[in-house]
Structure 1
Amino acid sequence: MDQRPLASRPVPANKISEQETQVILAVSNEPQYASLPPSQLVPTLLDEGIYLASEASFYRILKAHNQLHHRGRSKAPTKTGKPTSHTASGPNQLWSWDITYLASRVKGQFYYLYLFEDIYSRKIVGYEVHDRECGELAAELVQRCMLREQSFNKPLVLHSDNGAPMKALTMKAKLEELGVLSSYSRPRVSNDNPYSEALFRTLKYRPEWPSSGFAGLTEARDWVENFVVWYNEKHKHSKINFVTPAQRHAGQDGGILLNRKKVITAAKKAKPYRWSGDIRNCEPVGSVTLNPDDIQSESDQAA
């Protein structure tokens, strides 16, 4: 092979000629084809018994002639913007809420669990089970949650996804009346509400979860009530250093963790040979951020 940089080389036999290039451009811009990307256009032409070039050649030629823009009637894909971040340094500053289906024993029939969670403490601050999904029920519940938590006249952000009840006019009006700032997941982004999703996952993976469904609305409500008591009062949550949500919500986590540290330190002093490194982490978890810059860290925090 002649490797001299200035040597003239024969044109490859498979190179598309200028005339063929112009035909490809003309066909690509015909009205019936103008909306089709090459991945659709080439098969369409083949169905008509026409082969001009490969799909890759169509892409290359259209790109070279600055015609490889979005083709079609739909909007061009856009990058999803960075979501707004919210940080909670204490309870009742940042809540998350969502609705999940609870299957009944009747095929196709569901009950709906409305659940509000404090992101800082992970405490369930409000919940109800209904036989329908609507903004009016959610609006009534959030007001009761705030009354129970005495969180009126305090800055509170409420995060949710973009479901119909979340954006219902009744719910929006109630939040505005209560002075609550709404925060929503980005459209078509499935992991922007990780705290509620993680909580529902915990709920549905409990050993006593009725896999065959609930016999009725009363049974569903009783089951959820028992779960909430367990979750808030007994469940030592791994993401808040194994204190219960109720303990952290009440500001007791610092004292509990300090006491643990004293116990472990004394044990290490008594039998130092049993430790090869530092003692267990007994520091309280600090502030919690919704939609941090590091998305992976949020998923880790919420799990």
Structure 2
Amino acid sequence: MVGIKTSCRLSGINRSTYYRHRDPSPKAPREVSTAAPPNRLSPAECHHIITVLNSARFRDKAPRQVWAALLDEGVYLCSVSTMYRLLRAQGQTRERRAQARHPAKIKPQLMAQVPNQVWSWDITKLRGPGPGRFFDLYVMIDIYSRYVVHWEVHSSESGEIARQFMQNCIRANSGIAAEVIHSDRGTAMTSQSVADLLSMLGITKSHSRPKVSNDNPYSEAHFNTLKYCPVFPGRFGSIQDSRQFCRRFFEYYNHEHYHSGIGLHTPFAVHIGTAHAIQDKRAQTIETFRATNPWRFTRRPTLPGLPQAAWINEPSELGAAERQAPDQRKAS
């Protein structure tokens, strides 16, 4: 006599399949008894408990306080959990204190079509000579041209230093201020001294949402370029060393670095408005070479285009074609 387990193993049939075919009609589920428990409170008892809890004596007390006070008087109505359950059914359980409601921060949406429309600034840490020693690098960048308007290195971060830094930015830009200055929500950026200065100058201030680094993309990307530079040191021996390095780096970045986001032009050329003339000269150089050596080309070469606009959080309904001119244009 071979058992079911052995037979199923030898025949290759799953045991659950065998049992399902042997008894195809499932048994009706057992009905669950819905009878009320014998210790259930009657409607009259529930009403009495609610009346006691809402009485002038106990309406300002928590159920635990009511339960203890009545118990000391030799009265037992129900458990504390039952009191809470009955109050919950009446919609009478909630936080007693007024809760602070913080509305969601508005998503910043900024667009720049020419230089000096929108500036973005931030502060990053530079490692000092020893553990726990840092220097603070303040950087202001134009989001359209990617030009670093001004930078400073300080030993600390404060609203007063930030105020003076902004004044120096305008002075370094030949007295021209941006229409909007954007930053994250650091203590220096949201300080009253900075807010008073921007208000006095008639500059609109803009801030990122809390803990959303994507709301300040140009400053974050610029710091990434800085700190991933091959010659960026792990530590600076002094604040003078950090200033000397930043002076060389930003001079190179503004005047020699060909930025992919602005059609492979230097930020300085875009900032002062000579990029279009340089673009035409590049196109002419390519066309001259193409006319001399036509066999080198299977199609007309193109140039990376200059951006039509720079966005911080571009609205989703706008397409890439509205944000930026075609990445490639005819060389002719």
Match of 2:231 among 203, 208, 214: 208
Q: Are positions 1:85 and 2:85 aligned together?
A: no
Instruction: Spell out the pairing of 1:271-290 with structure 2 (5 A cutoff).
Output: 271-290=293-312
State the 1:268 CA deviation. 2.1
Corresponding residue for residue 183 of structure 2? 160
**Alpha-carbon displacement from aligned partner over 1:75-132 (angstroms, at most 9, x marks no partner):** 8999966623221121111000000000012011100000000111111001100000
Alpha-carbon spacing, 1:291–1:111, altered in 2? closer, same or farther (3 Å): same
Q: Are positions 1:120 and 2:144 aligned together?
A: yes
- TM-score scaled by structure 2? 0.65
2:255–2:268 contact (8 Å) kept in structure 1: yes
Is the partner of 1:175 in helix, strand or coil? helix
- Any unmatched runs of 5+ in structure 1? 2-7, 21-30, 33-66
1:258–1:282 contact (8 Å) kept in structure 2: no
Instruction: Spell out the pairing of 1:5-16 with structure 2 (5 A cutoff).
Output: 10-11=28-29
**Alpha-carbon displacement from aligned partner over 1:139-186 (angstroms, at most 9, x marks no partner):** 10111111222455x661000001111001111111111211100001
Q: Are positions 1:135 and 2:159 aligned together?
A: yes
* Partner Cα separation in structure 1 for residue 103 and residue 30 of structure 2: 40
* Partner Cα separation in structure 1 for residue 30 and residue 293 of structure 2: 80
- TM-score scaled by structure 1? 0.70
Alpha-carbon spacing, 1:270–1:12, altered in 2? closer, same or farther (3 Å): farther
Superposition RMSD in Å: 3.7
Alpha-carbon spacing, 1:205–1:77, altered in 2? closer, same or farther (3 Å): farther
Instruction: Spell out the pairing of 1:16-35 with structure 2 (5 A cutoff).
Output: none
* Partner Cα separation in structure 2 for residue 279 and residue 112 of structure 1: 45
* Partner Cα separation in structure 2 for residue 234 and residue 244 of structure 1: 6
1:120–1:287 contact (8 Å) kept in structure 2: yes
Alpha-carbon spacing, 1:80–1:276, altered in 2? closer, same or farther (3 Å): farther
Corresponding residue for residue 45 of structure 1? none
Corresponding residue for residue 80 of structure 2? none
Alpha-carbon spacing, 1:270–1:197, altered in 2? closer, same or farther (3 Å): same
* Partner Cα separation in structure 1 for residue 219 and residue 36 of structure 2: 60
* Partner Cα separation in structure 2 for residue 137 and residue 230 of structure 1: 26
State the 1:190 CA deviation. 2.3
Paired residue type of 2:28: P
Q: Are positions 1:183 and 2:206 aligned together?
A: yes
Instruction: Spell out the pairing of 1:1-303 with structure 2 (5 A cutoff).
Output: 10-11=28-29, 83-152=107-176, 156-211=179-234, 213-294=235-316
1:92–1:149 contact (8 Å) kept in structure 2: no
State the 1:284 CA deviation. 2.4
Paired residue type of 1:128: E
* Partner Cα separation in structure 2 for residue 18 and residue 194 of structure 1: 64
Is the partner of 2:187 in helix, strand or coil? coil
Worse-matched range after superposition: 85-94 or 96-105 = 85-94
- Any unmatched runs of 5+ in structure 2? 1-19, 21-25, 38-62, 65-90, 325-332
Worse-matched range after superposition: 257-266 or 232-241 = 257-266
State the number of aligned residues.
245
Corresponding residue for residue 40 of structure 1? none
The percent identity for this pair of structures is 34
Alpha-carbon spacing, 1:268–1:168, altered in 2? closer, same or farther (3 Å): same
State the 1:296 CA deviation. 11
Alpha-carbon spacing, 1:80–1:188, altered in 2? closer, same or farther (3 Å): farther
State the 1:277 CA deviation. 3.2
2:213–2:220 contact (8 Å) kept in structure 1: no
* Partner Cα separation in structure 1 for residue 36 and residue 256 of structure 2: 77
